[in-house]
Amino acid sequence: MMNENAKKVPSVVVKRLPRYYRYLGELLKQDVKRISSNALSNKMNVTASQIRQDFNYFGGFGQQGYGYNVEYLYNEIGDILGLHDGDTTVIIGAGNLGRALASHDTFEKRGFKLIGIFDNDKNVIGTIINGIEVMSVDFLKSFVTQNRVDIGILTVPKSAVFKTAETLVECGVKGLLNFSYTELNFDKEVAVENVHLSDPLMTLSYKIKQNKAEF
Amino acid sequence: MMNENAKKVPSVVVKRLPRYYRYLGELLKQDVKRISSNALSNKMNVTASQIRQDFNYFGGFGQQGYGYNVEYLYNEIGDILGLHDGDTTVIIGAGNLGRALASHDTFEKRGFKLIGIFDNDKNVIGTIINGIEVMSVDFLKSFVTQNRVDIGILTVPKSAVFKTAETLVECGVKGLLNFSYTELNFDKEVAVENVHLSDPLMTLSYKIKQNKAEF
């Protein structure tokens, strides 16, 4: 049922799901059992009707006048996001950003398992990051073929990203998280998220400009 | 005029502006002079009517049946985003992520000027990143007071983020780009963008799950 419905979910709604998930996780930590869409709305700076509308794409999660069950909602959204599927990841490019992501324990907390880190720099190969030894990219193909790798995280330079991405896709990777300041697009079975770290800086700059006009 | 209109711009539209800007920059590099909203739509995976609707928030940029002038549109969007304001930045936290951002030349290309990097680790203070010597956080307050700093980029651990953010705000910083896996919120004059690097990974996971159901 979920999949039938989920296909129609607009990408702006999908992009809000991680935020709901994070926020519900915080509530759980604080031992909050139930929350109304109004209270959720106040805390999250989204209108209550927006929240209800978003949740309706997934069946509404059964709020019946007395609020959402926080733990149920957290688990449902986690399930929708595929966080219970145990997806494995590899990072290609062990520069500063690759190292930052490899050491980023939130990825693991969200259910992703980092199983390999690759680089082409002799000085980096063999070093240990977060308990994992950096391998040569020469072994990328055989590693991804021999292990179940769901997601490739690309922190290689722009010049290397297309070739690296194609290798991963050929070897059956299902998704690419691309930090290489380019737009990757694959048809069919390969999901891609292109992350541009300068985008939030530009959005911030917009907000600053608006504030200057206001105050 | 722009500011009056701009206040009503929904945040989803604002979040699309950096993408338009990046894409128009690519077109400029390829020496493309004009582009129709249909062609822009195909390339960007956004409907043409969405593009027109988005641009209408800012006066429409005068497409009159024969396409948008790429350079004009690029400059207008850059202006709306405040990229021509010469905003200065400091990075607090010279760990892997701070180093990655400091070395990230796209920030400079977008018009931001990095003028200081701070850390509290003796082994890091005094090292040079991208031509800038890392200073002790002990000097943060005096530096921000004595120099015009518009934006603080926070890559400090969660435990240090609130104190660091408050120091910056007290010293007159206008915006905070927060990578510390927490939600910062300041009322009034301080703009904040909270960046969660695991959000795009969760969105990717969602897409992978959808693909699995489909293929």
The pLDDT of residue A65 is above 80 = no
Residue B198 and residue A106: Cβ atoms within 8 Å? Answer: yes
Residues 23-82 of B with CB under 8 A from A: 80-82
Tens of pLDDT, residues B62-106: 766 778 999 999 999 999 999 999 999 999 999 999 999 999 888
Q: Tell me the pLDDT tens digit for each residue of B151-195.
A: 999 999 999 999 999 999 999 999 999 999 888 988 778 999 999
DSSP string, A81-135: TTTTS--EEEEE--SHHHHHHHT-HHHHHTT-EEEEEEES-TTTTT-EETTEEEE
Q: Which residues contact A203 (CB under 8 A, 6 or more apart)?
A: B14, B15, B17, B18, B81, B193
C-beta neighbour count of B22 within 10 angstroms: 21
Range with lowest mean pLDDT among A114-128, B56-70, B130-144? B56-70
pLDDT exceeds cutoff 90 at A7: no
> What ipTM was estimated for this complex?
0.93
- Determine the pLDDT at residue A142: 97
Contact partners, residue A172, CB within 8 Å, separation at least 6: A144, A145, A149
pLDDT at A2 over 80: no
Q: Where is average pLDDT lowest: A3-12, A90-99, B103-112?
A: A3-12
User: Tokens for A169?
Assistant: 């896709």
**A110, A189, A205 member nearest B198 (Cβ):** A110
Q: Quick check: A200 and B193 CB within 8 A?
A: yes
Say yes or no for a CB contact (<8 Å) between A175 and B207. Answer: yes
- State the Cα–Cα distance between residues A189 and A191, nearest whole angstrom: 7
- Give the pLDDT of residue A5: 46
Chain B nearest CA to A69, separation (Å): 22
Residues of A with CB below 8 A from B106's CB?
181, 196-198
Residue B51 to residues A169, B19, B55, B67, B185, Cα–Cα distance (Å): 31, 12, 6, 12, 30
Contact A201 B107 (CB under 8 A): yes
Average pLDDT of span A188-192: 89
